[in-house]
Chain A
């Protein structure tokens, strides 16, 4: 076989990496290179340098070190039994691509993942070597996200955490049974132990020594994970239950939901379906409600039938429609907790309402200027000059928000 060019390798190994949803580059330590001795900066908030036509942001150079893999996970394009073209980057090639792309302002940094070759330790060692080269030889101060291999040696994870901004380990599927079925070589308990380990290391790195010196920070942008949605039969309640457990047990920054998407040369074990993008979107909405809006898991899943979120309307609206007795709320008097539950109000809108109403009573027009989506919110609030009257309890309220029924094709 002819030797692959860098461009061919890049094509294969970026194609192989596209199923990882995460591309975040935010939330790490602030740093820059004003001293002229290094390259890159990190300013807290991430930057999306481009968007692909799939609507996903391109913030990092997201590539696999190699797509050779000894595992046979049915949902994965790189599984050993797939016939995709294979390639492998050298350490040098990854470093060069990252630096050259970064200098041209294409990316915020590197998201490096890899198929497992030879052994977990050998693979992890190569990944750490790349991060080490970037940080120590190239003085790279941009963002690095490493996908860790669950059963790699603790010393390697330790070094990875000191070099990278974020570590992640994918839980892959919502239930242990599904992981056993579709990813026979992966062990859910081992993945959980690895996440627990990252959390413990992160916490140890926070303790000052008795002289008051702070140890180097471990994975300052935290850890994240990804779950594939729609490959197995789990319902949304199971998915959200799993992510609530993960958030609370391992202090994850994010759980990414990735709609199972057909892959080239897919396995016969899995359904070839259109990716359930709407479901993925609703799961993210529910995830936000759980983390930032004070909702409990039971409240969200309680508003569903068969444990799946309503695909036609968002989960907050679904909850509000089931609890119409609590509405309409007076925006001039209601508590923050209740205002957060109004469909169409976001965290920022609520904050603006609270600051403004210290000075004066709010009118309907005022709220329209505060970033609220009044189309949704107006049925659930009263304000100066506005009362929804019978709208809150009207029988067709749901129909106003749900997409209009579609004529099915006869053929």
Chain B
């Protein structure tokens, strides 16, 4: 006489465990049990006789998760195999650690199959929206064909992930339905006719474009995404075409000649140069770095580069054009005739030069030799751009509240344009990065004016500009509205 044990399709893990516990406790050997699910035909001599009361027993801890997975395998012998091995474990619990044992190896393989099937289900279920998109609780459905009976153990994964929406996974085996936070399982649902879903087209577009035709590896794809899953995956329909076109696309890429860069490049590169003007060494190394500069050809003829001078926390920064003859020799800014004129007018305007950071837009002296003299030459745009690197570094280091730019060169370096200085003078301009700039004339311009009258007038205007800078700084300090803005 053999005992017939029927395990239901829903809740198989618990049912098998209960039955196995009772049978083992009652000492029923595997040969006297027929295991089956609801579809197994009944044997001629099978009985449903109740199992006698069992005593408590123990099994190795690691057997439980193994059994909990293997019960979902499609093999009709799964329950019997598990019970057979459990029977052997009674006498030899150490068998659980013996990976060489043939029975255990088989169960482990079945466990692995179930895990893989669960994993593929997590990966390849594709939902389509069946409710309204703007509903408070959206609802989705999927049709899936698992290899093993994995819907029940895997449903918890979808519950953890998609708890804020309703979903159902319908399969030829059992189906999982999650509605309003409740999960239930039902048997034998028909394949639902799911409505079209607009996001599916986007997904296929993504799939087609993320594929790199230059590295075709069909085998690698199929071993991970076997063809049996393809029919329920919208993107899989594109695969044959992608494979067929790939060699031609790769060849075309190789054959096409390099093209000319688009017109945009020049603009972008100029923009990039702006970004690149970021010297990022330690602050005390800046003067030395400026001394070593070879960014433009000016360094070849000048004596030395002249870095800015003054307190590192100055509120005001004065930017001139470039070092002159004296500055080039002494290595300090604003010490020649124009510097002396600046000092005098600044004092009259109430500007303390010792408290300002004084520097030049271009750090090397540009000149043409004339006999025993060196004639000053205005730096060109390229030189100004190259030297902006240093000016920006100084600006970042000192972070002044106001910058006074003197002359067209300083204006160009500071604001990007040196045009219309006499129109723009005396006003405070704000750069894109927030730096405030006040433009004025360069003192050497005053030195070159031959008529004393005009010169005096211009000097007064220059003094007024400097006074405005001083007033703006102190007004902002006290919170009054700054004048002349």
Contacts and interface: CB of A to CB of B under 8 A. Distances in A.
Interface of A: 6-7, 10-12, 14-15, 17-19, 32-41, 43, 47-58, 61-63, 70-72, 80-83, 97, 100-101, 103-106, 119-120, 139, 185, 259, 261-268, 272, 274-275, 277, 352-353, 355-356, 358-360, 362-363, 365-367, 369-370
Given A14-B210, A265-B258, A54 B99 contact: no
A11 B203 CA distance: 10
Contacts of B217: 53-56, 277
Contacts of A36: 163-164, 181
Contacts of B293: none
B224 A53 contact: no
Contacts of B200: 104
Contacts of A277: 215, 217
A11 B207 contact: no
Contact of B261 (A81, A262, A272): A81
Given A18-B210, A105-B126, A39 B162 contact: yes
Given A47-B122, A81-B261, A362-B100, A55 B160 contact: no
A369 B216 contact: no
Contacts of A33: 160-164
Interface stretch (B50-58, B270-278, B391-399, B461-469): B270-278
B127 A105 contact: yes
A263 B252 CA distance: 10
Nearest to A369: B105
B97 interface: yes
A360 B259 CA distance: 69
Interface string B341-369: 00000000000000000000000000000
B269 interface: yes
Interface centre among A41, A52, A55 (most CB of B within 10 A): A52
23 contacts: A10-B206, A18-B210, A34-B159, A39-B161, A43-B157, A48-B224, A50-B123, A50-B233, A52-B242, A54-B215, A56-B212, A62-B210, A63-B206, A70-B275, A82-B261, A104-B199, A105-B127, A262-B254, A265-B259, A268-B258, A352-B99, A369-B100, A369-B102
B255 to A, nearest CB: 9
Given A14-B209, A369-B105, A38 B219 contact: no
B94 A11 contact: no
A328 to B, nearest CB: 19
A54 B203 contact: no
B224 A57 contact: yes
A34 B163 contact: yes
Interface in B196-233: 197, 199-203, 205-221, 224-225, 233
Contact of B216 (A6, A7, A54, A267): A54
Given A6-B202, A265-B256, 12 more contacts: A10-B202, A17-B210, A19-B212, A36-B163, A61-B206, A82-B259, A185-B272, A265-B258, A352-B99, A356-B100, A369-B100, A370-B100
Given A7-B205, A10-B206, A277-B215, A104 B126 contact: yes
Contacts of A272: 253-254
A366 B213 CA distance: 43
Contacts of A47: 119, 122-123
A54 B213 CA distance: 7
A202 to B, nearest CB: 23
B416 to A, nearest CB: 16
Nearest to A57: B224
Contacts of B212: 18-19, 52, 54, 56, 261
Contact of B235 (A50, A105, A359, A362): A50
Contacts of A259: 215
Contacts of A105: 125-127, 142, 158, 162
Nearest to B221: A51
A104 B220 contact: no
A359 B209 contact: no
Given A103-B127, A104-B140, A362-B100, A274 B206 contact: no
Interface string B140-179: 1010000000000000011111111100000000000000
A80 B216 contact: no
Contacts of B216: 53-54
B19 interface: no
A356 B258 contact: no
Nearest to B200: A104
B160 A32 contact: yes
Interface centre among B224, B225, B246 (most CB of A within 10 A): B225
A216 B205 CA distance: 37
A103 B162 contact: yes
Contacts of A15: 209-210
Nearest to A38: B164
Contacts of A81: 261-262, 265
Nearest to A360: B98
Counting contact residues on chain B (CB < 8 A from A), the size range is 35 or more
Contacts of A72: 265, 269
Nearest to B274: A119
A277 B211 CA distance: 15
B225 A50 contact: yes
B381 interface: no
A58 B124 contact: no
B268 interface: yes
A70 B124 contact: no
B138 interface: yes
Interface in B424-454: none
B199 A101 contact: yes
Contact of B242 (A53, A56, A70): A53
Given A80-B268, A104-B127, A370-B99, A262 B159 contact: no
A180 to B, nearest CB: 13
B209 A11 contact: yes
A262 B253 contact: yes
Given A61-B206, A104-B126, A262 B163 contact: no
Nearest to A190: B280
Given A262-B254, A356-B99, A53 B211 contact: yes
A53 B160 contact: no
Given A38-B164, A70-B271, A369-B105, A275 B214 contact: yes
Interface string B88-132: 000000100111101001000000000000010011111111000
B180 to A, nearest CB: 9
Interface centre among B98, B102, B214, B272 (most CB of A within 10 A): B214
Contacts of B260: 83
B464 to A, nearest CB: 37
Contacts of A268: 258
A262 B249 CA distance: 11
A268 B257 CA distance: 8
Contacts of A50: 123-124, 207, 225, 233, 235
Contacts of B271: 70
Contacts of B272: 70-71, 185
A97 B164 CA distance: 18
A189 B382 CA distance: 27
A47 B123 CA distance: 6
B373 interface: no
Contacts of A14: 205-206, 209-210
A262 B275 contact: no
Given A80-B269, A369-B105, A55 B219 contact: yes
Nearest to A99: B199
B30 to A, nearest CB: 22
For the complex of A and B, list the 4 residue pairs with the smallest distance between their C-beta atoms, beginning with the closest.
A55-B220, A366-B100, A55-B217, A81-B261
A36 to B, nearest CB: 5
Nearest to A277: B215
A49 B258 contact: no
B243 interface: yes
Contact of B243 (A19, A49, A53): A53
Contacts of B100: 356, 360, 362-363, 365-367, 369-370
B264 interface: yes
Interface string B179-201: 00100000000000000010111
